[in-house]
């Protein structure tokens, strides 16, 4: 299975388990993430979730060779990007969270990361754009100029910088991200479930209107890229392991 579950009292750890593919998301993993989070959402004994990747790579985003499959009914892209969870979800990041991997972390309510973590949106290097909410969640979470830097250069950013900017809640030693994320999730799990649900619902409502505009803008950008020669060249260069020769159209 590409995803495993581990229960730690009221906190459920959802572990991405496709290390041989850098936890890149294909259709099977999208369905598995969706199923796991649906199970947690519907289980009254589960109070919070931790979404964890591997020790070397949290998630490399979409599996470019296979595709990530269709968005799910309850979770959207990757089974999580459009999810409206009434229970806290904490990302536990070790290693690289790139492209959709960073967008998955931003879809969680909080992020705990080890000192090995790096975050990036390399889509422009492949003739693509961030299509899983990165175009609007990154500038929401970060100062605008830093968001532009990430989205326009494709360069990775260190965990220390993102902690200073308030994106990462806690930085820990290598190998300790899951335990620390469980500890943070447990601090929410001891509180009144009704209060937690009401708080998360209120926060989601505040940002819902902005999300609608963000998705509309993302669709326009995606349509532009899908029709471009740059996209074809970027993907060809990726598979051929060479530097792209951008047509610029």
Active site residues: 103, 123
109-112-118-122 Cα dihedral, nearest 10 degrees: -10
Find the largest Cα–Cα distance for the chain: 56
The bridge status of strand 89-93 relative to strand 57-59 is: unpaired
In angstroms, rounded to a whole number, what is the distance separating the alpha carbons of residues 163 and 166?
5
E strand or H helix that includes residue 107: helix 100-107
Sequence length of the chain is 249
In angstroms, rounded to a whole number, what is the distance separating the alpha carbons of residues 86 and 31?
20
199 close to 192: Cβ distance less than 8 angstroms: no
């Amino acid at each position: 299975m590409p995803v495993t579950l581990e229960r730690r009292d009221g906190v459920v750890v959802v572990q991405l388990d496709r290390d041989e593919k850098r936890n890149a998301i294909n259709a099977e993993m999208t369905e598995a993430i969706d199923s796991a989070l649906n199970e947690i959402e519907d289980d009254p004994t589960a109070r919070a979730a931790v979404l964890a990747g591997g020790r070397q790579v949290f998630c490399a985003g979409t599996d470019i060779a296979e595709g990530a499959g269709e968005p799910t009914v309850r979770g959207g892209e990757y089974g999580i990007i459009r999810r409206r969870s009434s229970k806290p979800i904490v990302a536990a990041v070790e290693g690289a969270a790139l492209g959709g991997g960073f967008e998955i972390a931003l879809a969680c309510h909080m992020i705990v990361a080890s000192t090995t973590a790096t975050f990036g949106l390399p889509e422009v290097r492949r003739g693509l754009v961030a299509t899983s909410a990165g175009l609007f969640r990154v500038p929401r979470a970060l100062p605008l100029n830093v968001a532009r830097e990430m989205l326009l250069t494709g360069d990775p950013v260190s965990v220390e910088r993102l902690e200073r900017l308030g994106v990462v809640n806690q930085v820990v030693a290598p190998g300790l991200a899951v335990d620390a994320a469980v500890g943070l999730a447990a601090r929410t799990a001891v509180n009144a479930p009704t209060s937690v649900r009401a708080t998360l619902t209120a926060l989601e409502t505040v940002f819902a209107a902005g999300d609608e505009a963000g998705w509309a803008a993302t669709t326009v950008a995606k349509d532009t890229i899908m029709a471009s020669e740059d996209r074809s060249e970027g993907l060809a260069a990726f598979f051929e392991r060479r530097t792209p020769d951008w047509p610029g159209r």
